[in-house]
Chains A and B, each alone.
Chain A
Amino acid sequence: MSKLHVTTTINGDSREFLCEPEDTLLDALRNTLGLTGAKEGCATGDCGACSVTVNGRLVCSCLMLAAEAEGQEIDTIEGMADHDKLHPLQKHFLEGAALQCGICTPGFLVAAKALLDKNPDPTETEIRYHLAGNLCRCTGYDKIIRAVQNAAAEMRGA
């Protein structure tokens, strides 16, 4: 079976790649495009480590075929910092020690950004529900929630 040719926009840049029909978007990002920020924790939609946005909508890249990316706008963790300047979420995750091994972190950051883009002032409950699809096996969730709250406050200029 010949490979499929996919043209897409990733972090604002037009990108083309070849994939097998059964490859997931996560496979293409990590193995073909060298964007290894999104992680594979489970490959079944449970852990959120593979989170990316497609046309601004938060999804698990392990639950999407690479071929479905044709013509779509994908944003990944690699596009979050502005060159050397970290996004407030990234900064507060570091400052608040909201990570240990870091496997879950890109997914949490992408998911938290998707929340703050829509709702700049979420309640703690809203943050917890929004992030229920992101699992962390080391840090515990409190520091992660605090980091999101602190980043949100900074972004609101509070």
Chain B
Amino acid sequence: MRFEQPKTVNDAVSLLADADGLTRVLAGGTDVLVQLRLGMVEPDLVVDIKAIPGMRDITEENGGFTIGAAVSGAELGEHAKLVAAYPGVVEGMELVGSTQVQGRATLTGNLCNASPAADSVPAMIAADAIATIAGPDGPREVPVADIAIGPGKTSLKKGEIITSFHLPARPANASDAYLRFIPRTEMDIAVASAAVNLTLKEGKVVAAKIVLGAVAPTAVTVPAAADAIIGTALDDASLDAMAKACEAACNPITDKRGTIEFRTKTAGTLAKRAAKIAFARAGGKS
């Protein structure tokens, strides 16, 4: 294995594009190191992106936020303005692992590891986050929803790396929330999860995005669930309709953590609860 710590994005891209064999980008390393140690992945080249200037910065831009690819969960949680604007995105990332894991783990790694249960991904998709990608053919911008394409698989091409994410500016009275179900209270993998991002006007939902995790090969956006609450103040009937739409969108597996039936039901329930939290955070009164 070769280890490189390039100082520029271009160098990182060239190293990866020119490499023969298996490569891994190293952000926080909390997935890569485990896979190395367990012998699951034996890369020929590891490219650490943390020495590239800007990779660890959170900047406010056009009213939104640009988050460098190597920003850790702990750093996200310490950014008061980001927490205020996107509490759901931050709480998703903060659920990843322990304090120790938070010191290193990144949104980028969580997304690119492409686990169906990745905790930061549903809220990032619900927030309409855009990834900026650098590659041999130049930069491109891609919705976070289009990065993971299956368990362990991404749409990134050889030599491409994510350099940052952008969370768009928010209208007034908008907020988000993320909830997951795990059998313990800390340190476990989601059995089902739900993120809700919504905007209110005069007490009613005028825009919403609902994304489920751990109930399909990738996170699933459920437009029908959003439609069920748009135009409402989250009365019980619309919340029930939303939960039904979520259940209909689930395509989970049965494993030791939960059955298909349990995951499906739980996803709907979590979506309801997350919607209520996001609604209250956005200033809604029920």
> Could you tell me which A residues sit within 8 Å of B by CB distance?
1, 4, 21-22, 24, 43-46, 48, 51, 54, 57-60, 62-65, 67-68, 70, 111, 114-115, 129-134
Contacts and interface: CB of A to CB of B under 8 A. Distances in A.
Interface string B44-56: 0010101000000
A89 to B, nearest CB: 16
A132 B5 contact: no
Nearest to A131: B99
B1 A22 contact: yes
Given A57-B104, A59-B104, A63-B104, 10 more contacts: A21-B46, A44-B37, A48-B100, A57-B103, A63-B100, A64-B33, A65-B26, A65-B46, A132-B186, A133-B97
A59 B1 CA distance: 23
Interface string B71-93: 01010000000000000000000
Contacts of B173: none
A68 to B, nearest CB: 6
A46 B189 CA distance: 12
B33 A133 contact: no
A4 B36 CA distance: 18
Nearest to B34: A44
Contacts of B46: 21, 65
Interface of B: 1-3, 5, 26, 28-30, 33-34, 36-38, 46, 48, 50, 72, 74, 97-101, 103-104, 186-187
A45 B97 contact: yes
Contacts of B2: 1, 21
Contact of A62 (B37, B74, B97): B37
A59 B29 CA distance: 11
What secondary structure prevails in chain A residues at the interface with B?
mixed
Contacts of A68: 5, 26, 29, 48, 50
Contacts, number: 87
A115 B100 CA distance: 11
B103 A59 contact: yes
Best-surrounded residue of B5, B33, B97, B101 (most CB of chain A within 10 A)? B33
Given A44-B34, A68-B29, A60 B1 contact: no
B75 to A, nearest CB: 9
Nearest to B101: A45
Contacts of A58: 99-100, 103
Contacts of A46: 187
A45 B1 contact: no
Given A45-B97, A58-B103, A133-B99, A65 B3 contact: yes
B221 to A, nearest CB: 30
Contact of B33 (A65, A114, A115, A134): A65
